[in-house]
Structure 1
């Protein structure tokens, strides 16, 4: 007879952590830090360490949205979006999220132009991120919005001849969110 193991949850981990002293917790964090580059990136962002906490997230976005096709690298929308989700979990500041989302749109558009990509799924993901960027920008202070809108408008202009309704969708979204301002 096979018995089902109980799944471990955060509650179980939290209970065990209560037994740790300060040195034990620091040792655990040090081990987690050393175990994985993603953990390092998370802690750097959460603790606002380094000159540019967005840099590793942008590097990942760039890698997955604008791969080196000469090296047979492929793109991955999911991995690029995961970088934004990881930043959101680490610190989630609206300014940083908006910057990463706009950067995503810029890099995706650049790749489309660079290799003459014709991939409807890639286009759809770009339009969805464009809208998410606009929503996030709308939550920022008035003075922070214009430069980001300008960058998204440049993305829209670069997408004029893509087809699939990309330019029309972006133009409608830009008009909708800027009208709310």
Structure 2
């Protein structure tokens, strides 16, 4: 299957009439939910991004801490929703908040149930590391998230030793620790 490259695409699009471009964008909008969400985010702005954030947060909650029933534990679905949000919005703070929410719910789940495999804990570590990475160049964001990060880290202290040690290493190499007045 041959696909068009970006420079070629730009060259071809310049030859279209305004009406033809609108028709093509409408077709793209109908194509799939991801394209529809991306166009909504670009055209409607903050309103669409906020709705997308809430939808992503609900997906995470449904997988790790549903209002009714047992957690579904389709972690890939939650991770994919976060990745889609990041890709479609470019919202660093919102993405970090969703990753931290994923980590917090995962920790609560780990405290409530036993027997999770290494993959579960690896996903939590990755989410925690992603939050630390997002805050690396943004001290304001690091300060805003620090209370939640510290609470989650304290909660992890009761978990498996290797798991906690890995989280503690990430914390100690982050802006959270470097700017920690309480240490």
TM-score normalised by structure 2 residue count: 0.76
Secondary structure (helix, strand or coil) at the match of 1:165 reads helix
The equivalent of 1:44 in structure 2 is 40
Compute the RMSD of aligned alpha carbons.
2.8
The 8 Å contact of residues 66 and 107 in structure 1, kept in 2 or not, is answered as: yes
Gaps of 5+ in 2: none
The equivalent of 1:168 in structure 2 is 165
State the Cα distance separating 1:31 from its structure 2 match.
2.9
Aligned pairs, how many?
A: 174
Structure with higher helix content: 2
The 8 Å contact of residues 64 and 72 in structure 2, kept in 1 or not, is answered as: no
- Which of 152, 156, 176 does residue 155 from structure 1 map onto? 152
Could you say if the C-alpha distance between residues 145 and 120 of structure 1 is closer, same or farther in structure 2, counting changes exceeding 3 Å? same
The answer as to 2:61 corresponding to 1:62 is yes
The equivalent of 1:75 in structure 2 is 74
TM-score normalised by structure 1 residue count: 0.77
Secondary structure (helix, strand or coil) at the match of 1:132 reads helix
Could you say if the C-alpha distance between residues 84 and 72 of structure 1 is closer, same or farther in structure 2, counting changes exceeding 3 Å? closer
The C-alpha deviation readout for 1:52-92, integer Å capped at 9, x for no partner, is 1422222233334446894783423x332222222232232
The equivalent of 1:85 in structure 2 is 83
The C-alpha deviation readout for 1:66-121, integer Å capped at 9, x for no partner, is 46894783423x33222222223223232222212212212222332344452211
Gaps of 5+ in 1: 1-5
The equivalent of 1:21 in structure 2 is 17
